[in-house]
A = this chain, B = another copy of it.
Amino acid sequence: MYTYDMAYRTSDKVRQKKDAKRTAMMQTAVQVFAEKGYHAATVRDIVQKAGVAIGTFYFYFPDKETLFVYLYEETGEFLAQSLEQAINSKELLHHQIAAGVQAYVNIALYEPAVIHLMLVGGIGAIPSLHEKRSIFRERMTQMWQRPLDFANDDGNLPDQNSRRSAEMIAGACDEAILNLLAQPDAEASGQAAVRDITLFILRGLGYNTQDKT
């Protein structure tokens, strides 16, 4: 799980209550944005689902666009950090890949709105988001590329454009996970998906998994 902490100025335990409400509204907003997309999701949709008045929305957030961009960034941050941590917690490439994929699938199953927001919710929406989106995609790509370059330095990978490989890993994961979420019994297929995805990636990289642990 993850929480949002937009800048504020109040203090004390009033802050906590305020934070709690803000956080709740943000989570609601993520759900709605993820489900309907930026434009189709109205502020009214959000406040209705959150059970507050429309004025309350504008007490906590400056406007719809700012909130969306913030949510997009925060959610991207959460997603990227989760995968990065999983990857960095391992030493060997095939463990790193497996851990990253596992983390990705976990989030998809546990917080599907995160995936929908990042992958489909915010496209073609606000001009300012194009840049944010590029930044996020870039981060995901580099996240996958780093272990490749390390492995490459150790001579564990055949010669290849690691950048391109990373891009493909990112894209392959996204698509496989989106398909997974589209299934009615997503959770049941989770582990099989992790295995399939990991193996495909490792083979794709030309990584010889035989003689490693």
Measured CB to CB, the residues of A under 8 A from B are 36-40, 120-126, 134, 137, 141, 160-161, 164-165, 167-176, 178-179, 182, 192-193, 196-197, 199-201, 203-206
Copies, count: 4
Q: How far is the CB of A90 from chain B (nearest CB, A)?
A: 21
Please determine whether B171 and A124 come into contact, CB atoms closer than 8 angstroms: no
Give CA–CA (A173, B167) in the complex, Å: 9
Contact at B39–A168, with CB atoms within 8 Å?
Answer: no
Interface of A is mostly: helix
Given A39-B124, A40-B39, answer yes or no on A176-B182 (Cβ-Cβ < 8 Å).
no
Select one of B39, B123, B203 contacting A204, CB under 8 A: B203
Residue of B nearest to A33 (CB): B124
- Pair A167/B171 contact, Cβ less than 8 Å: no
Contact, CB under 8 Å: A141 / B39 = no
Are A40 and B193 closer than 8 Å at their CB atoms? no
A165 contacts across to B, CB distance below 8 A: 196, 200
Which residues on the B side are within 8 Å of A37 (C-beta)? 39, 123-125
Point out the residue from B123, B141, B193 that lies within 8 Å of A123, measured CB to CB.
B123
Inter-chain contacts of A175 with B (CB < 8 A) = 137, 167-168, 170-172, 174
CA distance in complex: A120, B133 (Å): 11
Give 3 nearest A-B pairs by CB, closest first: A37-B124, A171-B175, A204-B204
List 5 contacting pairs A-B, 8 Å CB cutoff, sorted by A.
Answer: A161-B192, A164-B176, A168-B176, A171-B174, A200-B204
A124's contact among B120, B164, B199, by CB below 8 Å, is which? B120
